[in-house]
Protein backbone atom coordinates (compact mmCIF):
# COMPACT_ATOMS: atom_id res chain seq x y z
CA UNK A 1 0.00 0.00 0.00
CA UNK A 2 1.48 3.34 -0.98
CA UNK A 3 -1.41 5.66 -0.21
CA UNK A 4 -3.45 7.86 -2.49
CA UNK A 5 -1.10 9.92 -4.68
CA UNK A 6 -3.77 12.62 -5.18
CA UNK A 7 -3.82 13.40 -1.43
CA UNK A 8 -0.72 14.28 0.52
CA UNK A 9 -0.44 13.20 4.14
CA UNK A 10 -0.62 16.17 6.50
CA UNK A 11 0.50 16.13 10.07
CA UNK A 12 -2.59 16.22 12.31
CA UNK A 13 -0.96 15.42 15.66
CA UNK A 14 -0.93 19.03 16.84
CA UNK A 15 -4.49 19.64 15.70
CA UNK A 16 -5.66 16.47 17.49
CA UNK A 17 -3.89 17.48 20.72
CA UNK A 18 -5.37 20.99 20.63
CA UNK A 19 -8.87 19.71 19.83
CA UNK A 20 -8.75 17.22 22.72
CA UNK A 21 -7.41 19.85 25.13
CA UNK A 22 -10.16 22.32 24.23
CA UNK A 23 -12.79 19.57 24.50
CA UNK A 24 -11.61 18.85 28.05
CA UNK A 25 -11.82 22.58 28.84
CA UNK A 26 -15.33 22.53 27.39
CA UNK A 27 -16.24 19.59 29.65
CA UNK A 28 -15.13 21.68 32.65
CA UNK A 29 -17.25 24.59 31.49
CA UNK A 30 -20.31 22.38 30.96
CA UNK A 31 -19.83 20.87 34.41
CA UNK A 32 -19.64 24.41 35.82
CA UNK A 33 -22.84 25.34 34.00
CA UNK A 34 -24.63 22.30 35.42
CA UNK A 35 -23.51 23.14 38.98
CA UNK A 36 -24.58 26.77 38.53
CA UNK A 37 -27.91 25.65 37.10
CA UNK A 38 -28.55 23.43 40.12
CA UNK A 39 -27.33 25.81 42.84
CA UNK A 40 -28.44 29.23 41.69
CA UNK A 41 -32.15 29.88 42.24
CA UNK A 42 -33.97 31.16 39.13
CA UNK A 43 -34.41 34.92 38.97
CA UNK A 44 -31.56 35.73 41.43
CA UNK A 45 -30.77 39.33 40.41
CA UNK A 46 -27.51 39.48 42.37
CA UNK A 47 -25.96 36.67 40.33
CA UNK A 48 -27.23 37.80 36.93
CA UNK A 49 -24.00 39.50 35.85
CA UNK A 50 -21.57 36.70 36.89
CA UNK A 51 -23.84 34.10 35.26
CA UNK A 52 -23.97 36.14 32.05
CA UNK A 53 -20.16 36.36 32.12
CA UNK A 54 -19.92 32.60 32.63
CA UNK A 55 -22.26 32.11 29.65
CA UNK A 56 -19.95 34.25 27.53
CA UNK A 57 -16.88 32.25 28.62
CA UNK A 58 -18.79 29.05 27.85
CA UNK A 59 -19.64 30.33 24.36
CA UNK A 60 -16.03 31.31 23.66
CA UNK A 61 -14.89 27.88 24.88
CA UNK A 62 -17.41 26.16 22.61
CA UNK A 63 -16.36 28.24 19.60
CA UNK A 64 -12.65 27.58 20.20
CA UNK A 65 -13.25 23.83 20.60
CA UNK A 66 -15.47 23.76 17.50
CA UNK A 67 -12.80 25.44 15.36
CA UNK A 68 -10.10 23.07 16.63
CA UNK A 69 -12.28 19.97 16.11
CA UNK A 70 -13.29 21.03 12.59
CA UNK A 71 -9.64 21.72 11.74
CA UNK A 72 -8.74 18.21 12.91
CA UNK A 73 -11.67 16.64 11.01
CA UNK A 74 -10.43 18.30 7.82
CA UNK A 75 -6.91 16.94 8.31
CA UNK A 76 -8.00 13.47 9.43
CA UNK A 77 -10.39 13.10 6.48
CA UNK A 78 -7.58 14.17 4.15
CA UNK A 79 -5.24 11.66 5.77
CA UNK A 80 -7.77 8.82 5.50
CA UNK A 81 -7.74 9.46 1.74
CA UNK A 82 -3.94 9.76 1.72
CA UNK A 83 -3.79 6.30 3.31
CA UNK A 84 -5.52 4.95 0.21
CA UNK A 85 -9.18 4.86 1.22
CA UNK A 86 -11.23 5.13 -1.97
CA UNK A 87 -14.88 6.07 -2.37
CA UNK A 88 -15.14 8.13 0.80
CA UNK A 89 -18.02 10.53 0.24
CA UNK A 90 -17.41 14.21 -0.48
CA UNK A 91 -14.06 15.74 0.35
CA UNK A 92 -12.20 17.00 3.45
CA UNK A 93 -13.90 20.35 2.87
CA UNK A 94 -17.32 18.74 2.88
CA UNK A 95 -16.44 16.75 6.01
CA UNK A 96 -16.43 20.17 7.71
CA UNK A 97 -19.11 21.77 5.55
CA UNK A 98 -21.81 19.24 6.48
CA UNK A 99 -21.94 20.66 10.01
CA UNK A 100 -23.38 23.87 8.53
CA UNK A 101 -26.02 22.49 6.14
CA UNK A 102 -29.49 22.51 7.76
CA UNK A 103 -31.08 19.05 8.17
CA UNK A 104 -28.10 17.34 6.50
CA UNK A 105 -26.15 18.25 9.65
CA UNK A 106 -28.34 15.79 11.54
CA UNK A 107 -26.73 12.80 9.83
CA UNK A 108 -23.83 13.64 7.51
CA UNK A 109 -21.22 14.63 10.16
CA UNK A 110 -21.93 11.28 11.82
CA UNK A 111 -21.44 9.29 8.60
CA UNK A 112 -18.27 11.28 7.86
CA UNK A 113 -16.67 10.47 11.23
CA UNK A 114 -17.92 6.86 11.08
CA UNK A 115 -16.36 6.34 7.64
CA UNK A 116 -13.19 8.14 8.72
CA UNK A 117 -12.89 5.70 11.62
CA UNK A 118 -13.37 2.68 9.35
CA UNK A 119 -10.96 4.06 6.73
CA UNK A 120 -8.30 4.60 9.38
CA UNK A 121 -8.54 0.99 10.55
CA UNK A 122 -8.54 -0.62 7.10
CA UNK A 123 -8.03 1.92 4.29
CA UNK A 124 -7.90 -0.69 1.49
CA UNK A 125 -11.32 -2.21 2.27
CA UNK A 126 -12.86 0.20 4.78
CA UNK A 127 -16.45 -0.68 3.92
CA UNK A 128 -15.84 -4.18 5.25
CA UNK A 129 -15.33 -2.76 8.75
CA UNK A 130 -18.20 -2.69 11.22
CA UNK A 131 -19.58 0.58 12.54
CA UNK A 132 -18.12 1.79 15.82
CA UNK A 133 -20.54 2.07 18.74
CA UNK A 134 -18.50 4.91 20.30
CA UNK A 135 -19.27 7.07 17.26
CA UNK A 136 -22.99 6.25 17.45
CA UNK A 137 -23.04 7.09 21.15
CA UNK A 138 -21.18 10.37 20.58
CA UNK A 139 -23.59 11.40 17.84
CA UNK A 140 -26.66 10.49 19.92
CA UNK A 141 -25.37 12.64 22.82
CA UNK A 142 -24.50 15.48 20.44
CA UNK A 143 -27.97 15.47 18.88
CA UNK A 144 -29.73 15.35 22.26
CA UNK A 145 -27.64 18.23 23.61
CA UNK A 146 -28.11 20.35 20.49
CA UNK A 147 -31.84 19.72 20.19
CA UNK A 148 -32.57 20.37 23.88
CA UNK A 149 -30.33 23.47 23.83
CA UNK A 150 -32.08 24.82 20.73
CA UNK A 151 -35.54 24.24 22.21
CA UNK A 152 -34.49 25.97 25.46
CA UNK A 153 -33.14 28.92 23.48
CA UNK A 154 -36.29 29.22 21.34
CA UNK A 155 -38.56 28.96 24.39
CA UNK A 156 -36.66 31.71 26.17
CA UNK A 157 -36.73 33.86 23.06
CA UNK A 158 -40.47 33.47 22.49
CA UNK A 159 -41.89 33.14 26.00
CA UNK A 160 -39.30 34.94 28.12
CA UNK A 161 -39.71 34.57 31.87
CA UNK A 162 -42.96 32.54 31.53
CA UNK A 163 -41.01 29.61 30.15
CA UNK A 164 -38.67 29.82 33.17
CA UNK A 165 -38.59 26.31 34.63
CA UNK A 166 -38.94 24.48 31.30
CA UNK A 167 -36.13 26.54 29.80
CA UNK A 168 -33.94 25.98 32.83
CA UNK A 169 -34.44 22.20 32.79
CA UNK A 170 -33.84 21.92 29.06
CA UNK A 171 -30.72 24.09 29.31
CA UNK A 172 -29.50 21.95 32.18
CA UNK A 173 -30.17 18.76 30.21
CA UNK A 174 -28.31 20.19 27.24
CA UNK A 175 -25.25 21.07 29.37
CA UNK A 176 -25.37 17.70 31.12
CA UNK A 177 -25.49 15.63 27.91
CA UNK A 178 -22.79 17.83 26.36
CA UNK A 179 -20.32 16.42 28.90
CA UNK A 180 -20.35 12.81 27.61
CA UNK A 181 -20.65 14.15 24.07
CA UNK A 182 -17.40 16.15 24.38
CA UNK A 183 -15.62 13.35 26.25
CA UNK A 184 -16.61 10.76 23.64
CA UNK A 185 -15.45 13.05 20.84
CA UNK A 186 -12.10 13.49 22.59
CA UNK A 187 -11.75 9.70 22.79
CA UNK A 188 -12.77 9.29 19.12
CA UNK A 189 -10.23 11.91 18.00
CA UNK A 190 -7.51 10.16 20.01
CA UNK A 191 -8.33 6.73 18.59
CA UNK A 192 -8.65 7.81 14.95
CA UNK A 193 -5.45 9.84 15.19
CA UNK A 194 -3.52 6.93 16.75
CA UNK A 195 -4.95 4.52 14.17
CA UNK A 196 -3.99 6.72 11.25
CA UNK A 197 -0.44 7.12 12.53
CA UNK A 198 -0.19 3.36 13.03
CA UNK A 199 -1.62 2.59 9.57
CA UNK A 200 0.54 5.22 7.89
CA UNK A 201 2.70 3.33 5.40
CA UNK A 202 6.46 3.66 5.10
CA UNK A 203 6.10 5.48 1.78
CA UNK A 204 4.27 8.34 3.50
CA UNK A 205 6.66 8.41 6.47
CA UNK A 206 9.62 8.74 4.13
CA UNK A 207 8.07 11.57 2.10
Partner 1 sequence: MAVSTIDGTVEEATVTRSRKGLNVYDKIVFRLADGSSKTWAKPVAHQSVAAYLWPGASGRFYLFSAWDHRGVHGARTADGAAVHFSTQFETFSMVLALVNLAVVLLSVVALDRIQMLSLILFLLFVPAYLYFRNLRVQAQAQFDADSSYHPPAAAAPALGTS
Binding site for partner 1 (CB under 8 A): 86-87, 89-90, 101-104, 107-108, 111, 124-125, 127-128
State the minimum distance, in angstroms, from the CB of residue 59 to partner 1.
25
Give the residue with the Cβ less far from partner 1, 101 or 203: 101
State the minimum distance, in angstroms, from the CB of residue 92 to partner 1.
15
State the minimum distance, in angstroms, from the CB of residue 28 to partner 1.
34
* Cα–Cα distance measured from residue 59 to residue 106, given in angstroms and rounded to the nearest whole number: 21
State the minimum distance, in angstroms, from the CB of residue 94 to partner 1.
9
State the minimum distance, in angstroms, from the CB of residue 111 to partner 1.
5
Give the residue with the Cβ less far from partner 1, 122 or 197: 122
Give the residue with the Cβ less far from partner 1, 14 or 131: 131
Give residue 112's Cα distance to chain centre.
Answer: 12
Give the residue with the Cβ less far from partner 1, 12 or 82: 82
Give the residue with the Cβ less far from partner 1, 127 or 150: 127
DSSP the chain: ----TTS-----HHHHHHHHHHHHHHHHHHHHHHHHHHHSPTT-GGGHHHHHHHHHHHHHHHHHHHHHHHHHHHHHHHHHHHTT--S-SS-HHHHHHGGGSTTGGGTHHHHHHHHHHHHHH-GGGGGGSPP-HHHHHHHHHHHHHHHHHHHHHHHHHHHGGGGHHHHHHHHHHHHHHHHHHHHHHHHHHHHHHHHHHHH--HHHHH-
Give the residue with the Cβ less far from partner 1, 21 or 122: 122
State the minimum distance, in angstroms, from the CB of residue 89 to partner 1.
5
Amino acid sequence: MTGNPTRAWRDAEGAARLARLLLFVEVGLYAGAVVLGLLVPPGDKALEAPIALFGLVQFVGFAAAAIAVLRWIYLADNNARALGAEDLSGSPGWAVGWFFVPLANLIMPYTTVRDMWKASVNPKDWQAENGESLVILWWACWLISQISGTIAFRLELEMGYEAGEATRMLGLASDLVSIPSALLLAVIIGRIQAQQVQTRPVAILAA
